[in-house]
Structure 1
Amino acid sequence: MRAKSRAIQDEEEIELDMTPMLDVVFILLIFFIVTAVFVKRPGVDIEKPLISEDDERNPSVLVAVMPNDQVWIDKTSYTVQNIQPVLQSLKDQNPELEIVLQGDQEAKIGTVLEVQEVITSLQIPVFVNTEPQ
């Protein structure tokens, strides 16, 4: 009789410890937060030129060129001469950086090409974004 009551008592005290599972969940959550890549928006709306075909990209950074020769990166305005250190720091943060260059319809093509040359001189892949026709 004594052995029987001890077996019943042992069965009632058995519980599943959830602490290791919670540790694993939190570690996975931290991993996905740290490895996530966030897109930096230029901070200004532009009118894109029209073309017949549009390739969809998922860039790390969008760079916008405005008609007044301003270059917008991450909601901050720069001149063409000042963007190289900004882009270099973004590349240092994310070695797999891809940039989509957006030129306003009224922007000077020379300015857009200067920005593209700065980006390619840093060996960053750059794609020009346009509106489909």
Structure 2
Amino acid sequence: MKFQRRPCEPISLNLTPLIDVVFLLLIFFMVSTTFDQTSELDLQLPEALHGEQARDRAPLQIEVSEDGAISVNGEASDNLPDTLTQFLQDHTAPERVVVIADERARHGQVTRVLDALTGAGLTQVSFQTRYEP
């Protein structure tokens, strides 16, 4: 007796349920995500209790006062990137830069100083604090 073979259906993978699950997960994560907003804070920075006293004066010192005024090596600067460019044209690039910020200086102003230093290619930065043993 001769049996007839049924034609075989080609094997296929149905991706529709997988796509539905991926979209549901995407919607879930989009809805449940929160975004933190940062703001500038007025910080009172403490005195340094540990560390070592600076042994020598750095060739480039940037001071940030309480009111946000910036001075480079004791001279007031209205445009820090231009002042840094002029300094680097007149002198060789210093090994390190010292940032001296008043404890009541705004964090945003100190961040702008660090950004200007990075833009000028000066990445060896240290902070000077008041040290009272």
What TM-score results when the alignment is normalised by the length of structure 1? 0.54
Q: 1:89 is matched with which residue?
A: 86
Q: Radius of gyration: which is bigger? A: 2
Identity %: 15
Question: Does the 8 A contact of 1:54 with 1:131 survive in 2?
Answer: no
Q: Number of residues paired by the alignment? A: 84
Q: 2:112 aligns with which of 91, 107, 114?
A: 114
Question: Does the 8 A contact of 1:59 with 1:100 survive in 2?
Answer: yes
Structural RMSD (CA): 2.1
Shift of 1:55: 5.6
Q: 1:67 is matched with which residue?
A: 66
Greater share of residues in strand = 1
Shift of 1:123: 1.1
Question: Does the 8 A contact of 1:120 with 1:126 survive in 2?
Answer: no
Q: 1:131 to 1:54 in 2, by over 3 A?
A: farther
Question: Does the 8 A contact of 2:66 with 2:104 survive in 1?
Answer: yes
Q: 1:49 to 1:112 in 2, by over 3 A?
A: farther
**Structure 1: gaps spanning 5 or more residues:** 1-47
* Matched residue type, 2:130: E
Q: 1:100 is matched with which residue?
A: 98
Q: 1:91 to 1:55 in 2, by over 3 A?
A: farther
Matches of 1:61 and 1:111, distance apart in 2 = 18
Greater share of residues in helix = 1
* Matched residue type, 1:84: P
